[in-house]
């Protein structure tokens, strides 16, 4: 079914609650495994349907945040979902037929269920609802951005290509224009995040954790590593990768004939002669994606054609559209959906390949039971997407033509230099939640200090106040919307680089 034809109507919450209560009771009193399994599978069907409806709302609202109908429906789900989450989880954990469930469906579902229970109590429902509303307000604020530049007005996504202009003065002016929009909205950005930090800290304390960090790890579904492991990883990044990334930027400064460290605007480009850009139009990029996936394997070819035929990608940057890109799943229809904001840069290609890496993995696993194991943990998900980027290299010329070598250099250098940035995002969030009563200025000062540790190649010279004054973290929507979701990218990037190395010697074996 095409995305535009997928129907939506608001679910009857009272009826849903009754069904879930009845299934939970059946699960508790089931006389045998067959009856317990039947109740469990019915609960899974309800969960899939509710997920599909809420995802339809999420996607349609993010495509146009000005749409009042889907804004109201998003508000509805923000209020309702916290009230009905975890229905039946305890009953499943307590089932006398747990061993039977584990034999058929594996033990991870129980590990995840135990973590899920640690993230919720009816006592924090008001905070969860407020958190949803604040995140929605942040995303809507960014989507509403109107940035004046050279007599025209741009969204945040649309000004992206101008921030990579080969002309030094024009590129710097674009960075200043974008930064000024954030400065103009500084008070609201500070207020939203301050409220989110205190809400999340309150939830952690209400659940008995003394603060948000343990709760944040549970909410991220981290079932095999903890804060100590992440701290070890951060130390390794500082020891090994920051010096390597620093060499890349020092070499670039020498090529550019500029003094090291360079400004944010100068570090945004890799080549004096201009960045690698996709050839042709947005449709040409999608056509190249189709040719790549057709050539990669029969399964990927079938998958990408299905995505195109069913309108399961919305990739153009339009007014009122939420920023960024993501992949999600419409489980009732057994399909994923890709959301992006093309802006004529190499990010368009990387995004469509990256998000399609997620989507292909989801499509291959769409029938998996239980629903919460359709995807692995988040760093596992990112391995799929980041590795897919490197698998596209043999077909890079389809996307970039004469700029292919520029793309490959930028992509590989970008993978290496991204890890220090992403690790800094994680370090910053730990500092914030260890000091929940910091003022906005103290948070900005922390970010500025961490820039010196993880990204010493950035010149904090005041040319672009928003960035040089330590406020640039406010454009990273994960920090507001998905706390602690960022080190996952860094962990996954290390695995993707292993795939890159394997691809150099035996691509077919790497794909298998």
Distances (CA, A) of 96 to 28, 32, 33, 333: 9, 9, 9, 33
Token digits of residue 401: 């033509």
Which residue do the tokens 């860094």 mark?
490
pLDDT band at 86 (very low <50, low <70, confident <90, very high): low
pLDDT at 439 over 90: yes
pLDDT at position 415 is 96
- Per DSSP, the three-state class of 437 is coil
Is residue 11 scored above 70 in pLDDT? yes
Helix (H, G, I), strand (E, B) or coil at 443: helix
Please give the backbone phi and psi of residue 151, each rounded to the nearest 5 degrees, phi first. Answer: 80, 0
The radius of gyration of the chain's CA atoms, rounded to the nearest angstrom, is 23
pLDDT tens for 112-126 read 999 989 999 999 999
Between 50-54, 225-229, 319-323, the lowest mean confidence (pLDDT) is in: 319-323
For range 378-385, the mean pLDDT: 94
Q: Are 24 and 88 in contact (CB under 8 A)?
A: yes
**Span 389-417, average pLDDT:** 97
Average pLDDT over residues 24-39: 95
pLDDT confidence band for 89 (50 / 70 / 90): confident
Is the per-residue pLDDT at 229 higher than 70? yes
Copy the structure tokens of residue 16: 């849903």
Read off the pLDDT of residues 234-265 as tens digits, 9 standing for 90 and up. 999 999 999 999 999 999 999 999 999 999 99
Q: How far apart are CA 484 and CA 478, in angstroms?
A: 8
The predicted model gives 75-102 an average pLDDT of 87
Per DSSP, what are the bridge partners of residue 330?
335
What 3-state DSSP class applies to 359? helix
For residue 54, pLDDT over 80 is answered with yes
Model confidence at 84: pLDDT above 80: no
Residue 236 in tokens: 């390794």
Compute the Cα dihedral for 80, 82, 83, 89 and give only its sign: positive
Residue linked to tokens 């904090």: 460
- Across the range 440-448, mean pLDDT stands at 98
Task: Give the 3-state secondary structure of residue 34.
Answer: helix
Q: Please classify residue 312 by burial: count the beta carbons closer than 10 Å to its beta carbon, then call 0-12 exposed, 13-18 middle and 19+ buried.
A: buried
pLDDT of amino acid 352: 87
Strand 326-330 relative to strand 313-316, pairing: unpaired
* Backbone phi and psi for residue 166, each to the nearest 5 degrees, phi listed first: -65, -20
**Cα→Cα distances 500→23, 67, 101, 401, 510, Å:** 47, 42, 38, 21, 9
Q: What pLDDT digit, counting tens, does each position of 427-436 carry?
A: 999 999 999 9
pLDDT band for position 80 (cuts 50, 70, 90): confident
User: Shortest CA distance to 401 belongs to which of 469, 346, 324?
Assistant: 346
Whole-number average pLDDT of the chain: 95
> pLDDT tens, 325-366?
999 999 999 999 999 999 888 889 988 899 999 999 999 999
What pLDDT is stored for residue 85 in this prediction? Answer: 66
State the average pLDDT over residues 301-308. Answer: 97
Angle at 312 (CA atoms; ends 493, 422), nearest 5 degrees = 20
Classify residue 262 by its DSSP letter.
Answer: B
Residue 288 Cα to chain centre, angstroms: 24
**Segment 411-428, tens digit of pLDDT:** 999 999 999 999 999 999
Question: What is the residue whose two structure tokens read 């629903």?
Answer: 371
């Amino acid at each position: 079914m095409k995305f535009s034809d997928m129907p939506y109507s608001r679910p009857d919450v009272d009826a849903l609650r009754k069904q879930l209560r009845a299934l939970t009771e059946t699960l508790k009193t089931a006389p045998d495994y067959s009856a317990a399994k039947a109740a469990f599978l019915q609960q899974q069907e309800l969960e899939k349907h509710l997920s599909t409806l809420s995802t339809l709302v999420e996607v349609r609202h993010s495509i146009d945040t000005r749409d009042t109908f889907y804004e109201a429906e998003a508000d509805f789900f923000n209020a309702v979902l916290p009230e009905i989450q975890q229905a039946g989880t305890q009953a499943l954990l307590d089932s006398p037929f747990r061993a039977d469930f584990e034999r058929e469906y594996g033990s991870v579902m129980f590990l995840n269920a135990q973590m899920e229970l640690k993230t919720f109590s009816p006592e924090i429902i008001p905070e969860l609802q407020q958190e949803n509303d604040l995140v929605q307000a942040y995303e809507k604020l960014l989507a509403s951005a109107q940035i004046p530049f050279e007599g025209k007005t741009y969204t945040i996504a649309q000004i992206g290509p101008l921030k990579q202009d080969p002309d030094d003065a024009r590129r710097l002016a674009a960075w200043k224009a974008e930064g000024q929009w954030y400065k103009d909205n500084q008070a609201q950005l500070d207020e939203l995040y301050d409220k989110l930090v205190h809400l999340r800290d309150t939830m952690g304390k209400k659940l008995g954790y003394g603060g948000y960090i343990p709760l944040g790890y549970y909410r991220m579904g981290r079932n095999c590593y903890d804060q100590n492991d992440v701290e070890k990883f951060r130390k390794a990044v500082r020891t090994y990768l920051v010096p390597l990334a620093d060499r890349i930027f020092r070499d670039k400064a020498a090529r550019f004939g500029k003094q090291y460290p360079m400004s944010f605007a100068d570090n945004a480009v890799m080549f004096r002669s201009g960045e690698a850009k996709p050839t042709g139009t947005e449709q040409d990029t999608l056509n190249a994606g189709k040719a790549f996936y057709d050539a990669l394997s029969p399964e990927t070819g079938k998958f990408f054609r299905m995505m195109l035929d069913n309108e399961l990608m919305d990739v153009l940057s339009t007014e009122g559209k939420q920023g960024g890109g993501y992949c999600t799943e419409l489980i009732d229809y057994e399909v994923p959906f890709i959301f992006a904001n093309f802006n004529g840069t190499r990010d368009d290609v990387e995004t469509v390949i990256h998000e399609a890496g997620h989507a292909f993995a989801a499509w291959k696993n769409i029938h998996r039971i239980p629903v919460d194991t359709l995807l692995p943990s988040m760093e596992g998900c990112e391995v799929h997407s980041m590795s897919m980027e490197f698998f596209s290299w043999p077909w890079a010329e389809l996307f970039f033509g004469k700029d292919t070598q520029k793309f490959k250099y930028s992509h590989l250098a970008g993978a290496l230099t991204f890890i220090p940035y992403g690790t800094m995002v994680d370090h910053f969030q730990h500092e914030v939640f260890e000091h929940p009563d910091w003022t906005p200025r103290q948070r900005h000062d922390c970010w500025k200090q961490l820039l010196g540790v993880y990204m010493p190649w950035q010149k904090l010279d005041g040319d672009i106040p928003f960035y040089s004054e330590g406020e640039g973290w406010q454009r990273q929507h994960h920090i507001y919307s998905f706390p602690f979701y960022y080190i996952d990218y860094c962990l996954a990037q290390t695995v993707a680089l292993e795939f890159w190395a394997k691809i150099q010697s035996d691509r077919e074996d790497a794909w298998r």
